[in-house]
Chains A and B, each alone.
Chain A
Amino acid sequence: MSVQDRYISLVAACTLLGASLSLPAEQTSEEAIAEYHAMFGDENPAELWQLRGEELWKTPRGSRQVSLEACDLGKGPGVIAGAYAELPRWFEDTGKVQDLESRLVTCMTNLQGLPESEVLAVKFGDGEQKSELEAITAYVAAASRGSRITIPLDHAAEKAAYALGESVFFYRAGPHDFACATCHSESGKRIRLQTLPQLTTSEGAQAAYTRWPAYRVSQGELRTMEWRLQDCLRQQRLPQLTYGSDVAIGLTMYLARNANGGEMAAPSIKR
């Protein structure tokens, strides 16, 4: 069996297992992952996304027929080693603070000349519909494995992004009065059996942030931080957060900075 085939059957098996895991929460998050490892060992289907991401990164595409190998993720054109661990950051050329996903959109549109509507058509994959952004994010994030998160907040716009993210984290709204802080500002709490990370401390933020993007067993998909935020906001009963918006990047900056010094270990496996 080729690497691809092996992972395809693994993903199929995981999707079946995922269906059972997404039934009423009878297991803690940790138990679900332990069950997964018992069945599949250390194999992480995220590698399938990484492989696809690598191919997308290296293939000349778009109206300019160039690859992403000249894309500057903050450490110079084409440098991906350790780049994810230093994002979000300020970019001179766009005059914006960007996370990995919004930076990839910039490179795919400006550098490669792909139409934005095409780049953003599938932000989050769904079975047959594959997301290029998720695949490339997995590939780039994997190149930061073992790197320490380094978010110095040197630029005024980076400080402002953090302040925005922090304010949003505590903003109570919607029919349920929920803020991110409702579920994520105490340690050792759970919703049903799902352990809630405490994201206001460096220990809690590191444990969470260093493990995204992640392969979600319950969905059979690789998911990025933008997806994680959107799904929590859905549970918060709020409307749709715009992908790559200042609020999405602010929240990511808040989490990344709180996780400063943590060692990246993504893509990981999540329930």
Chain B
Amino acid sequence: MNSSFRVTALLLCMGPLVSVLAEPVPDLTATLKAAFTDKRQATLDRLDQDETQKLCTQLRDQVPTSELSQKITRMNLATVKPPADGKYLGDWKAGEVVASTGTGLQSSDDPAKPNGGNCYACHELAPTEMAYGTLGPSLKHYGKLRGQDPAVLAYAWSMVYNSNSYAPCSNMPRFGHRGILTEQQMKDVMAYLFDAASPVNQ
């Protein structure tokens, strides 16, 4: 069996479906806006894309080239604001609430309540919490394994603030950059990751 045949056979057996028409729809944003209506805080402007969303949409689920990766990470790293007082770590107990809360910004949510970070939707964190998702890597023992070196804290802060600063086209929301979480909430969730007393590190 020649190798190109084998590759084709493999693709046919397990690969994603071959697209029927790969042509992108010309003005998709306008088409979408015509098919949606505002629903409470979920308004039509949410269908507009920023540069990162546009680039990542074009890529679909392909891995970006190194050139594109650099472009995206550079652009997003520039948005990251360190905490105003220079302190990365807040209160881990408040952070646990942020990590466990899934509501916020949905049309069905109360806009008067603080948004959640929903970290548990995608990450394993405290070893005692079994209801965790797997879209992201396990963060169990995060601080215990990594310590609190300033560079380690700055990297984790950047990931929470804007995941695309290091992970281009990440599936993780850009919590600070997109205004999902407040600075205080991000500090609290950082403490949840790093504090020695946090359940994440037990």
Which residues of A are at the interface with B, using a C-beta cutoff of 8 A? 24-26, 153, 159-160, 162-164, 166-168, 170-179, 181-183, 185-186, 188-194, 196, 200-202, 234-235, 237-242, 245-248, 257-258
- Given known A163-B21, A192-B131, A200-B17, contact A172–B36 (CB-CB < 8 A): no
Find out whether the CB atom of B108 lies under 8 angstroms from the CB atom of A234.
Answer: yes
Residue pairs across A and B with Cβ atoms less than 8 A apart, 28 shown, are A24-B131, A25-B131, A153-B20, A163-B20, A163-B25, A164-B31, A168-B32, A171-B28, A172-B49, A173-B48, A173-B49, A173-B53, A175-B180, A188-B134, A189-B133, A189-B135, A190-B135, A192-B133, A201-B16, A237-B46, A238-B46, A238-B47, A239-B37, A239-B43, A239-B44, A240-B36, A240-B38, A246-B31
With a CB–CB cut-off of 8 A, which chain B residues contact A246? Answer: 31, 35
- Given known A202-B17, A240-B36, contact A175–B108 (CB-CB < 8 A): no
With a CB–CB cut-off of 8 A, which chain B residues contact A245? Answer: 34-36
With a CB–CB cut-off of 8 A, which chain B residues contact A153? Answer: 20
B6 lies within 8 A of chain A by Cβ: no
Minimum Cβ distance to chain B for residue A183 (Å): 7
Find out whether the CB atom of B57 lies under 8 angstroms from the CB atom of A170.
Answer: yes
The 9 A-B residue pairs with the shortest CB-CB distance, nearest first, are: A247-B35, A245-B35, A240-B39, A163-B21, A176-B173, A239-B36, A172-B53, A191-B133, A170-B60
With a CB–CB cut-off of 8 A, which chain B residues contact A162? Answer: 20-21
Minimum Cβ distance to chain B for residue A239 (Å): 4
- Given known A192-B131, A238-B47, A239-B47, contact A159–B21 (CB-CB < 8 A): yes
Contact mask for chain B residues 6-47; partner A; CB cutoff 8 A; 1 contact, 0 none: 000000001011011101110010011011111100111011
Complex alpha-carbon distance, A188 and B134, angstroms: 9
With a CB–CB cut-off of 8 A, which chain B residues contact A238? Answer: 36, 42, 46-47
With a CB–CB cut-off of 8 A, which chain A residues contact B135? Answer: 182-183, 186, 189-191, 196
Which one of B16, B37, B173 lies within 8 Å of A242 (CB-CB)?
B37
With a CB–CB cut-off of 8 A, which chain A residues contact B178? Answer: 175-177
Find out whether the CB atom of B121 lies under 8 angstroms from the CB atom of A191.
Answer: yes
Which one of B39, B47, B120, B133 lies within 8 Å of A173 (CB-CB)?
B47
Minimum Cβ distance to chain B for residue A241 (Å): 6
Complex alpha-carbon distance, A209 and B91, angstroms: 44
A-contacting residues, B42-87, CB 8 Å: 42-44, 46-49, 52-53, 56-57, 60-61
- Given known A163-B25, A239-B44, contact A176–B105 (CB-CB < 8 A): yes
Complex alpha-carbon distance, A247 and B16, angstroms: 22
Counting residue pairs across A and B whose Cβ atoms lie within 8 Å, the total is 143
Considering only CB atoms, which chain B residue lies closest to A248 in the complex?
B35
Q: How many positions in chain B have a CB within 8 Å of any CB in the partner chain?
A: 51
B106 lies within 8 A of chain A by Cβ: yes
B174 lies within 8 A of chain A by Cβ: yes
With a CB–CB cut-off of 8 A, which chain A residues contact B57? Answer: 170-172, 179
With a CB–CB cut-off of 8 A, which chain A residues contact B31? Answer: 164, 246-247
Complex alpha-carbon distance, A190 and B135, angstroms: 7
Minimum Cβ distance to chain A for residue B126 (Å): 14
- Given known A237-B105, A239-B43, contact A159–B20 (CB-CB < 8 A): yes
Minimum Cβ distance to chain B for residue A129 (Å): 17
